[in-house]
Amino acid sequence: MWTLILVLSSLFPAVTAAVTTVTGYKGRSVQIRCPYKSGYETHLKYLCRGECYTFQTKDIPVDSKTAKDKSDDTAARVFTVTITDLRSVDGGKYWCATEQTLRDDYTEILLVVKVGE
């Protein structure tokens, strides 16, 4: 029985239980900070939108290899994504992810977009 549980757990990604809420305002910029564990400084980091921890196609708007600016601070171990000209449709569930050998590590982010401040 334990062997089956171990095999099944290795097939599914690690998901952190806590949800981080990030609030931004329509028309402005918002930063989503994605911390990661020591030892993964050279691994691919990415921000995924929707249900990303499944085996379905992932919506990955940005990753650490294609980002235009230096968004991966390896000394602080934080991958930062900036969304500019925020729109209401940008709100929703995102996942900060770190690519790992057997399964990626995911942290849930809820982006709330408000009108005006």
Write down how long the chain is. Answer: 117
Question: What does the pLDDT look like over 90-116, one tens digit per residue?
Answer: 999 999 989 888 788 889 999 999 997
The mean per-residue pLDDT over the stretch 70-77 comes to 88
Write down the domain spans for the chain.
2-114
Q: Which two tokens stand for residue 10?
A: 């290795």
Residue with tokens 């650490």: 64
Residue 75: band (very low, low, confident or very high) from pLDDT cuts 50, 70, 90: very high
Q: What is the pLDDT of residue 54?
A: 62
Closest CA to 52 of 112, 101, 92: 92
Question: What does the pLDDT look like over 42-61, one tens digit per residue?
Answer: 998 988 888 786 666 677 77
Report d(CA 4, CA 19) in Å as an integer: 29
Q: What is the pTM of this model?
A: 0.76
Question: What does the pLDDT look like over 7-21, one tens digit per residue?
Answer: 333 444 455 558 899
* CATH architecture of residue range(s) 2-114: Sandwich (2.60)
The mean per-residue pLDDT over the stretch 60-85 comes to 82
